[in-house]
């Protein structure tokens, strides 16, 4: 006898998120962060990410991560900071930083 199990993958999509935004994501879900393109040559990059967020796509304006369990699951939901920075070409002193808190439940 064969039993089929179907599991839905939860997807969280953030477009131009504000710094300080909190994302509550379950283990096995996908978190996608998208930034709109501006005039001029600028690109976003991941400056810091928690170990339980595994990058699966990164192209300078769109990022996708697979969420794994926190390192200490016995402590309950864990929040960690995902830090992204936008660098403008030709203006190294001009950058924009967005810090997002990813809570794994």
Q: Residue 14's pLDDT is what?
A: 93
Over the stretch 57-104, which tens digit does the pLDDT of each residue have? 999 899 999 998 765 555 545 568 999 999 887 776 778 899 999 988
Q: Residue 78's pLDDT is what?
A: 55
Tokens 């339980």 correspond to what residue? 52
Domains of the chain by start residue, with CATH: 11-104 (2.60.40.10)
Any residues with CB less than 8 A from the CB of 79 and at least 6 apart, and which? Answer: 22, 101, 102, 103
- Contact indicator for 69, 104 with CB cutoff of 8 Å: yes
Instruction: State the Cα–Cα distance between residues 102 and 49, nearest whole angstrom.
Output: 10
Any residues with CB less than 8 A from the CB of 39 and at least 6 apart, and which? Answer: none
Over the stretch 1-40, which tens digit does the pLDDT of each residue have? 556 655 566 888 999 999 999 999 988 999 999 998 876 7
pTM: 0.79
């Amino acid at each position: 006898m064969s039993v089929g199990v179907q599991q839905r993958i939860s997807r969280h999509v953030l477009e131009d998120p504000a710094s300080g935004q909190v994302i509550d994501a379950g283990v096995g879900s996908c978190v996608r962060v998208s930034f709109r393109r501006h005039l001029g040559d600028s690109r976003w990059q991941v400056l810091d990410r928690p170990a339980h967020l595994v990058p699966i796509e990164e192209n300078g304006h769109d990022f996708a991560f697979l969420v794994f369990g926190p390192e200490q699951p016995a402590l309950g939901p864990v929040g960690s900071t995902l830090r992204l920075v936008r660098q403008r070409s030709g203006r190294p002193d001009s950058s924009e930083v967005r810090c997002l808190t990813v809570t794994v439940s």
